Amino acid sequence: MNRLAFAVTVALALPFASPVVMAASPTASPAAAAAVPAAPSAAPKPWAVNLRYRYEGVDDDALSRDADAHTARLRAGYTFAFGGGWSALLEGEGVAELTDRFNSGANGETSYPTVIDARALEINQAWVDWRGADLGTRVGRQMIVLDNARFIGNGAWRQNMQTFDAVQLQWKPSAAWDVQAFYLDAIQRSAGDNARDRLARERDLDGRLLRVSRIVPGGNVAAYGYWVEDQDVAAASTRTLGLRWSSAWALNPTWKLGLTLEGATQQPWADAAGGRTGYALLEPRLERGPLVFKAGFERLGAGSGRAFQTPLATLHAFNGWADKFTTTPINGLEDRYLSAQGTFTMAGKAASWQVMAHDFQSDRGADYGTEWDASLALTLRPGLVALAKLADYQSDGFARDTRKLWLQLEWAL
């Protein structure tokens, strides 16, 4: 048991012995004991259940066999409210491999393409939280998503969520300011506890994150510093400093123009070696209600002996859904992309769609390849969503041609 896991175990036990809980009516739920809701329908549910079935097919020209992965994920949690601003969450997660025609990282089927949805049964989140008027703290295993999850995220696309054993502090001195600080003790990776590669399961960290954001005239600006020592893989330790700005302007009553700019520098930290590298993002967008068009340029620079890396990110959301660039190549990466997304009604049901096109190059001018992505989601009934999704990567010198298909049904209660 690591340092933070021991602290979490103790912290989770403390609220159950508090006078507030012991004095509550034996027939009242913990949430009801904390406060009387304005109306029964307005009270948030203390429990949450999510069931997801997914088929993922992978045709990777690097392997003679195609992957046909059928998996199911059940996640269930209960939030305890104790009054005085205190609450706690206990959430479990289980993943089942319904077939063996894919390499999950745990099943040993290495002749198939990899689909990182391995069998698992584990505690997904377990934290204690306190919130005051302008100050809050959270201790334990928790989901962390900062900004657009490019650097720190929960990897929500994979069946097994990525979480952190961490301490969080948040200070909101006014409506315009938001200050967040984190200490990271470990990362629970999406590959799960059964992955054969020990480093794919969990990494011990000594990480310190600081993010300060402010609403300013014309948008929102965030400054951040991430000092992360990977105690299992020293070469992955980095210091990242950056600035992100996003804004939108009404062109007329119908259309809106938006722009996001971000820049960061990264250098080795602790015992890591290598040179300094840079990150840049330029993303203009045009919006009309739910219809959004984007044109973007993202650069993860190449340095001396290393490239800009984001190992704690929600990686699937960036640089193409085929996941060919979850680790930045040594010569860096430039991603030029176009996307469109929107909503419509299909057979009386709410639906959403998205299409994307990527052109990938190295930071030194070499072509990597191109990719097309598309998805269609249909809400069959409240809480029940069907999804179809495609990715088609065409290599131009990096990796091999890869095509992926996903069919998914997700039920949330």
Residue-level pLDDT, tens digit, the chain, 413 residues: 454 443 444 344 333 333 333 233 333 333 333 333 344 455 678 999 999 999 999 999 999 999 999 999 999 999 999 999 999 999 999 999 999 999 999 999 999 999 999 999 999 999 999 999 999 999 999 999 999 999 999 999 999 999 999 999 999 999 999 999 999 999 999 999 999 999 999 999 999 999 999 999 889 999 999 999 999 999 999 999 999 999 999 999 999 999 999 999 999 999 899 999 999 999 999 999 999 999 999 999 999 999 999 999 999 999 999 999 999 999 999 999 999 999 999 999 999 999 999 999 999 999 999 999 999 999 999 999 999 999 999 999 999 999 999 999 999 99
pLDDT at 272: 94
All residues at 6 or more sequence positions from 1 whose CB lies less than 8 Å from its CB, including other chains: 9
pLDDT at 3: 47
pLDDT at 285: 98
pLDDT at 16: 35
Q: How far apart are CA 152 and CA 234, in angstroms?
A: 19
Superfamily of domain 3-25+49-412: Porin (2.40.160.10)
Q: Give me the residue label for tokens 């993922």.
A: 56
Three-class SS string for the chain?
CCHHHHHHHHHHHHHHHCHHHHCCCCCCCHHHHHCCCCCHHHCCCCEEEEEEEEEEEEEECCCCCCEEEEEEEEEEEEEEEEECCEEEEEEEEEEEECCCECECCCCCCCCCCECCCCCEEEEEEEEEEEECCCEEEEEEEECCCCCCCCCCCCCCCCCCCCEEEEEEEEECCCCCEEEEEEEEEEEECCCCCCCCCHHHHEEEEEEEEEEEEEEECCEEEEEEEEEEEECCCHHHCEEEEEEEEEEEEECCCCCEEEEEEEEEEEEECCCCCCCCEEEEEEEEEEEECCEEEEEEEEEECECCCCECCCCCCCHHHCCCCCCCCCCCCCCCEEEEEEEEEEEEEECCEEEEEEEEEEEEECCCCCEEEEEEEEEEEEEEECCEEEEEEEEEEEECCCCCCEEEEEEEEEEEC
pLDDT at 42: 54
Query: 300 with 332: CB under 8 angstroms?
Result: yes
Q: How far apart are CA 165 and CA 142, in angstroms?
A: 6
